[in-house]
Copies of this chain bind each other. A is one copy, B any other.
Amino acid sequence: MLICVVNPNTTASMTEKIGAAAQAAASPGVEIRAVNPEFGPPSIEGYFDEAFSVPGLLDEIAKAADADAFVVACFDDTGLDAARSATAAPVVGIGEAAFHMASLIADKFSVVTTLPRSIAPIEKNLIKYGLMARCARVRAADVPVLALEEPGSDARRTIEAEILRALAEDGAEAIVLGCAGMTDLARDLERKVGVPVLDGVACAVGLAETLARLGLRTSKRNAYAFPLAKSYAGAFARFSPG
């Protein structure tokens, strides 16, 4: 089984880290292919960056026709609905994956993400998925995404402090890490804070693999129907079904 994990930003070091986390989470015999678009923003911080990452993300999905399942490895689940329309293979976002898995092991969870501007997109996703009822609070540690890539930054300590506030103030029983770049922190933080700490990359690989193993594919009725044949004005030839 081949799972294509698309990091929708263009920062290769992050793609590598995500790929390693994905492979570690996968069952024996599952191949992970971690990729990122050739064009687009180096990190996704808010709605504007999201918009410019989606065409590149869809480009990667079109290139990976041999994949059995896809993971969209941005915690905002950037372009997830469009990706589901582009393929019949199952597509799982790391944000939704973490929310669904957290709902299975805790009555209520809190999310700790990077910047305050990312709170609204995450809350809107939770409302869209129906899972806001299970989320105690979405919090931002005020750490830029790429600070997570810098050795020696105090990002990890800042995130841990925000998790402790979530436990003290929100009634949270589990913590969801709200950025793909935090994927390597989950285990260590879990040991420190004493409740489950969920990394979306691992959760999404597990769900994508399960969907593929069970033969569950994206419904093509209504919302995620294949795009109609039309020209995209020459700019994105790979996507023109016509």
Contact = CB atoms under 8 A, between A and B. Distances in A.
Interface string A209-242: 1110111111101111101101111111001000
Interface string A124-154: 1001111111100000000010000000000
A45 B117 CA distance: 29
A196 B172 CA distance: 30
Contacts of A219: 105-107, 173-174, 195-196
Contacts of A38: 233
A124 B173 CA distance: 15
Nearest to A47: B81
A94 to B, nearest CB: 12
Contact of A171 (B28, B104, B106, B222): B222
Contact of A233 (B27, B42, B124, B198): B42
Contact of A214 (B131, B202, B211, B228): B202
B223 A47 contact: yes
A30 to B, nearest CB: 9
**Copies held by the complex:** 6
A163 interface: no
B211 A46 contact: no
Contacts of A215: 187
Interface in A48-104: 48-52, 54-55, 58, 79, 81-82, 84-86, 90, 92, 96, 100-101, 103-104
A132 B230 CA distance: 31
A211 B82 CA distance: 28
A55 B45 contact: no
Given A52-B58, A144-B228, 4 more contacts: A46-B85, A101-B211, A167-B221, A207-B210
9 contacts: A39-B234, A40-B232, A47-B85, A90-B105, A104-B207, A106-B224, A195-B221, A196-B217, A207-B210
Interface of A: 10, 25, 27-29, 38-43, 45-52, 54-55, 58, 79, 81-82, 84-86, 90, 92, 96, 100-101, 103-108, 116-117, 119-121, 124, 127-134, 144, 167, 171-174, 187, 194-196, 198, 202-203, 206-207, 209-211, 213-219, 221-225, 227-228, 230-236, 239
Q: What 3 A-B pairs are tightest by C-beta distance, nearest first?
A: A206-B210, A130-B133, A120-B223
